[in-house]
A and B are shown apart, each in its own frame.
Chain A
Amino acid sequence: MLKVENLVTSYGMIEALKGVTLEVPQGKITALLGPNGAGKTTLMFTITGILKAKSGSIRFKGLELVGMPSAKIVQQGVVLVPENRLVFPKMNVLDNLRAGAYVHIGRDKAGVEADIKKMFERFPNLKERSKQLAGTFSGGEQQMLAIARALMARPQIFLMDEPSLGLAPLIVEEIFKIVKELNEDGITIFLVEQNAHKALKVAHQFYLLEQGQVTFKGIPGEMEEDEIIRRAYLGSSQGH
């Protein structure tokens, strides 16, 4: 569904992505692992158009995303839940969700309201707090809200950047449960995670990104998990 070829993105003179090639197949969960600073968030931002690629190609169902404005990329169904949640703090849950559905609200107001009802079924604790201001939520609740808000954009491919970051273990469990459920409902997921252990439990395939390049592609279970995790956290330069 998503094909990235030789993608190069730089911050000024520093090349954060040095020619990344990977593929995210439809209907599956693909995990992107790697140490800090590897370029995972940079890759997510480049795919969604927040950052401009220097060269290379990103094809989504055949459509070239490089050079497309990010608002249009979201309209195509490529939606990112960014790191750090970034909810709208002074808006309540309803408004946050409606904001997420921005691309659809103009044309399909009734559909958006129906979507909100579905969100509340999937995330019952959001329903309880529907009129509360998002800034008063705990980290885990904000993450749920950020996911729900991104889902309102009706994604075909759902990009998640470190959804479990800084959250308590129980909440992390819930988040990964939701990731699995979303995939079972047919949404393709591209997941960046520091928590390699949990990510490997849900992913159908994974890539390892180190220093701006893909160094490994694999299927969980094929290789010793310890080896993968060690490289994911420390990078293969710390050889054994």
Chain B
Amino acid sequence: MVDFIQNCIDGVMFGSSYALLAIGFTLIFGVMRRLNLSYGPSIMLGAFLGTYFYVQWDTGILTVAAVTIAGTILAGVYVERLCFRAIRQKATLASMVSSFVIWMQLEEFSIILLPERTYPFPALGSAYIFEIGPFFLRSEHLFMFLMASFLVIVFHFMLYRTRFGLMVRAISENPEAAKFIGIHINAVMFWAFVFVSAVGGVTGYLILSTDQQITPLFGLWATFKGLVAMMLGGMGSLPGAILGGLLLGVVEAQSLWYLGNDYKDLCAYFLLFLVLVLRPGGLLGKGLVEREDLAFRRV
């Protein structure tokens, strides 16, 4: 029983970062109506830039963080201009395909920047292990969890308490109506991308500084975690993204403990399969059908 609860604790710690990734995907999906398949790789590019600074010039952790976030934002803007802005509203498939292509491009660029298979990533501080009764809590996991929770609150605040968030929600709910209100749709989409990229950069930094290493597989890894968490919780639903992330984290932790490393991913995908079969919209989501209908209402 102790193990089970310990795994739940670990799972929630990790799941909080999956939740952040899922929120990034969900927000862009809500506003743009398409999946940004370059999200993970743009975070990776930012992180690789940060690593480059670390490896070449041994800069401090704050500089690495700043470079990571800035790099992710730059990559995000690049993706937005090429894949989303440049392609007409109705050609959703074309922009998803082009975001996939840019994914490949960002990965290749990252590998050119740092060709080795693995690089060290600076830790945030010395590790400390808390003992609460029979349970263990690593300080860096706790920090990641607290930061992730803080960022979720930031997201919520942005969406529900700012004028900008109101515009983002308006465009997500009814893009046609948003036009009639006089919203500068392109401008709002651009800044939404910047915001999501910035949070993505912080998320990547948190995950990598806990791991203390970075490999070129990070982009793919982040994409999988974010997408699976989003699909578990429900596409287009912010609470769903959080729930999906936490659930994924816990399921991974439990299957890692009881079944071993080989089965960890298998269990996660099996869970996804079950959820999609039983509740195709995800646990909390409304599914794609309703949104498509809203997006392509006759003019």
Contacts and interface: CB of A to CB of B under 8 A. Distances in A.
Partners in one complex: yes
Interface stretch (A52-60, A84-92, A166-174, A203-211): A84-92
Contact of A99 (B170, B176, B184, B297): B170
Contacts of A98: 163, 166
Range for the number of chain B residues in contact with chain A: 10 to 19
B104 interface: no
A95 B176 CA distance: 17
B253 interface: no
B177 interface: yes
B182 A90 contact: no
Nearest to B175: A86
Contact of B166 (A81, A84, A95): A95
A53 to B, nearest CB: 15
B180 A99 contact: no
Interface stretch (A20-28, A69-77, A185-193): A69-77
B289 interface: no
Contact of A86 (B176, B182, B183): B176
A95 B163 contact: no
Given A45-B299, A95-B166, A99-B166, A88 B182 contact: no
Contacts of A50: 179-180, 299
A95 B181 CA distance: 13
B169 interface: yes
Contacts of B182: 70-75, 79, 102-103, 153
A240 to B, nearest CB: 33
B169 A88 contact: yes
Given A88-B174, A102-B163, A74 B169 contact: no
A89 B291 CA distance: 12
Nearest to B177: A86
Contacts of A175: none
A48 interface: yes
A82 interface: yes
Interface of B: 163, 166-167, 169-170, 173-174, 176-184, 297, 299
Identify the 10 closest CB pairs spanning chains A and B, nearest first: A74-B182, A86-B177, A88-B173, A71-B182, A99-B170, A71-B184, A103-B182, A105-B163, A90-B173, A102-B181
Given A88-B169, A99-B170, 7 more contacts: A71-B183, A72-B182, A80-B180, A86-B180, A91-B173, A99-B167, A149-B181
Interface of A: 45, 48, 50, 69-75, 79-82, 84, 86-91, 95, 98-100, 102-103, 105-106, 149-150, 153
